[in-house]
Amino acid sequence: MAFTHRSVLLLFAFLVGCQTISFDVDYFQPPITVSRAPARPITNYSLYNNTTLVKLGEVKAQVPSFDGKGLLLASWTPHVKGATARPTFVVVHGGHGLVPTNFASALWLRDTFNANVLVLDSYWSRGQNENWATRTRFGANMRVLDVIAAGKWLQDVHKVDTGKMFVMGDSQGGWTVLRAFTDDTFINGHMKGLYRGGIALYPGCFSHGTSTAPSLSPYTAPVIVFTGGKDTATPISECPKGVLHSASKWIHYPDQTHGWDSANRGAAGTPVDGECGKAMNVYNKFPVCRSNATTQDMQRNIQSFIEDLLTRPAV
Evaluate whether residue 13 is within a structural domain. Answer: no
Evaluate whether residue 2 is within a structural domain. Answer: no
Residue 110 scores a pLDDT above 80: yes
Residue 155 scores a pLDDT above 70: yes
Evaluate whether residue 44 is within a structural domain. Answer: yes
Q: What share of the chain is helix, strand, coil (3-state, %, to 5)?
A: 30, 20, 50
Confidence at 239, pLDDT banded by 50, 70, 90: very high
Residue 7 scores a pLDDT above 90: no
Residue 20 scores a pLDDT above 70: no
The mean pLDDT of 272-278, rounded to a whole number, is 97
The mean pLDDT of 74-90, rounded to a whole number, is 97
| b/e code 144-160 from CB counts within 10 Å (16+ = b) | bbbbbbbbbbbbeeeeb
Per the prediction, the chain carries an average pLDDT of 92
CB atoms near residue 226 (< 10 Å) = 25
Confidence at 13, pLDDT banded by 50, 70, 90: very low
Q: What element of type H or E holds 64?
A: strand 59-64
Confidence at 11, pLDDT banded by 50, 70, 90: very low
Residue 18 scores a pLDDT above 90: no
Model pLDDT, residue 313 = 85
Evaluate whether residue 7 is within a structural domain. Answer: no
Most confident of 3-17, 205-219, 295-309: 295-309
Evaluate whether residue 69 is within a structural domain. Answer: yes
Model pLDDT, residue 106 = 98
Evaluate whether residue 230 is within a structural domain. Answer: yes
Evaluate whether residue 91 is within a structural domain. Answer: yes
Model pLDDT, residue 9 = 37
The amino acid that residue 233 corresponds to is A
Evaluate whether residue 10 is within a structural domain. Answer: no
Model pLDDT, residue 25 = 95
Cα separations in angstroms, 196 against 70, 181, 193, 204, 217: 27, 10, 7, 22, 16
Q: Which of 196, 239, 236 is nearest to 217 (CA)?
A: 239
Model pLDDT, residue 314 = 81
Confidence at 17, pLDDT banded by 50, 70, 90: very low
- Please give the Cα distance from 131 to 172 (Å, whole number): 9
Residue 304 scores a pLDDT above 50: yes
Residue 305 sits in a domain whose CATH number is 3.40.50.1820
| b/e code 283-298 from CB counts within 10 Å (16+ = b) | eeebebbbbeebbeeb
The mean pLDDT of 267-283, rounded to a whole number, is 95
pLDDT in tens, 24-75: 999 999 999 999 999 999 989 999 999 999 999 999 999 999 999 999 999 9
The mean pLDDT of 137-142, rounded to a whole number, is 97
Model pLDDT, residue 175 = 98
Look up the domain containing 152 and give its range.
33-310
Q: How many CA atoms lie within 13 A of 126 on its CB side?
A: 20
Model pLDDT, residue 119 = 99
Q: What percent of the chain lies above the pLDDT cut of 90? A: 90
Do residues 77 and 156 make contact, with C-beta atoms less than 8 angstroms apart? no
The mean pLDDT of 207-234, rounded to a whole number, is 96
Q: Which of 61, 154, 59 is nearest to 99 (CA)?
A: 59
Residue 301 scores a pLDDT above 70: yes
Do residues 221 and 195 make contact, with C-beta atoms less than 8 angstroms apart? yes
Number of domains present in the structure of the chain: 1
